[in-house]
Amino acid sequence: MSVSEMFAALQGALGQDQDIREEIRKVVQALEQTAREMLTLLQGVHQGPGFQHIPKKCQKAREHFGTVRTQMESLKTKFPADQYYRFHEHWRFVLQRLVFLAAFVVYLESETLVTREAVAEILGIEADRERGFHLDIEDYLSGVLTLASELARLAVNSVTAGDYSRPLRISTFINDLDSGFRLLNLKNDSLRKRYDGLKYDVKKIEEVVYDLSIRGLNKEATVGAGGEK
């Protein structure tokens, strides 16, 4: 084989690779648009009247996840099944965003932490690597850390809306989350940096709870909550 023939073959391989990446980008753009629509919808809970409409907003978000599952099915067909990590960077960010959105919806519905397996089911992908297109553990953890930041913001806005019990429940949840992350030996630099930001979320929520305490509103919240969420 001559040099020109060798490079012609290489160009053919590069062209195929570029075609795959372009097809992946198209689907990822659609996923990003769906994620933006869901985020815009869920941001409404931070506004005063938004707390009254949480169930309705969660229901609408669940409908958007139907679109996500369809888009994920399309994405799975755009690259060889055994080359997940070769193209992972293309969808890593949007997948982490979708994990956060799923975790936020589940928290708003039940005030619990969604499992990785449950998120994978919501998104229409696998939890186990051996079964194909899956939810990587680090992507799941990144999405959960984004949830912590969102809940810190929700704690502040809850007080503004006159909901004094919600910050207390958020504080308990975030402290449990922090304790869980402390059990992990994180080696990934990006994930480690994001985890370092969790302490600021914990501090922010503690300040909200402390403010409620010195104003005597924490007792009112405990009595007024009556066990309701």
SS3 per-residue string spanning 84-118: HHHHHHHHHHHHHHHHHHHHHHHHHHHCCCCCHHH
- When computed from its CA atoms, the radius of gyration of the chain, rounded to whole angstroms, is 21
Q: What is the structure's pLDDT at 219?
A: 65
Could you give the percent of the chain with pLDDT greater than 90?
70
Of 135, 166, 185, which one is at a domain's C-terminal end? 135
* Number of alpha carbons in the 13 Å side-chain half-sphere of residue 165: 12
Q: What average pLDDT score do residues 11-29 get?
A: 90
Q: What is the structure's pLDDT at 63?
A: 97
CA–CA gap between residue 58 and residue 210 (Å, rounded): 30
Considering the domain architecture, whether residues 43 and 113 belong to the same structural domain is answered as yes
Considering the domain architecture, whether residues 118 and 19 belong to the same structural domain is answered as yes
Q: How many CB atoms lie within 10 A of CB 43?
A: 13
| Two structure tokens written together for 213 | 């305490």
Q: What is the structure's pLDDT at 228?
A: 47
Domain assignment of residue 227, yes or no: no
Q: What is the pLDDT of residues 164-197, one digit of tens each?
A: 999 999 999 999 999 999 999 887 678 888 898 9
126 is in an annotated binding site: no
Mean predicted lDDT score pLDDT of the chain: 91
109 pLDDT above the threshold of 90: yes
Domain assignment of residue 226, yes or no: no
CA–CA gap between residue 79 and residue 77 (Å, rounded): 6
Q: What average pLDDT score do residues 69-98 get?
A: 95
CATH number of the CATH domain containing 96: 1.20.58.190
CA angle in degrees (0–180, nearest 5) for 11-13-18: 90
Q: What average pLDDT score do residues 19-36 get?
A: 96
221 pLDDT above the threshold of 60: no
Q: Which range is least confidently modeled, 7-21, 30-44, 70-84?
A: 7-21
Considering the domain architecture, whether residues 192 and 124 belong to the same structural domain is answered as no
Domain assignment of residue 194, yes or no: yes
CATH number of the CATH domain containing 185: 1.20.58.200
227 pLDDT above the threshold of 50: no
Considering the domain architecture, whether residues 90 and 159 belong to the same structural domain is answered as no
Considering the domain architecture, whether residues 99 and 152 belong to the same structural domain is answered as no
Residue numbers of the domain that contains 6: 1-135
Q: Which range is least confidently modeled, 9-18, 81-90, 118-127?
A: 9-18
* Domains in the chain, number: 2
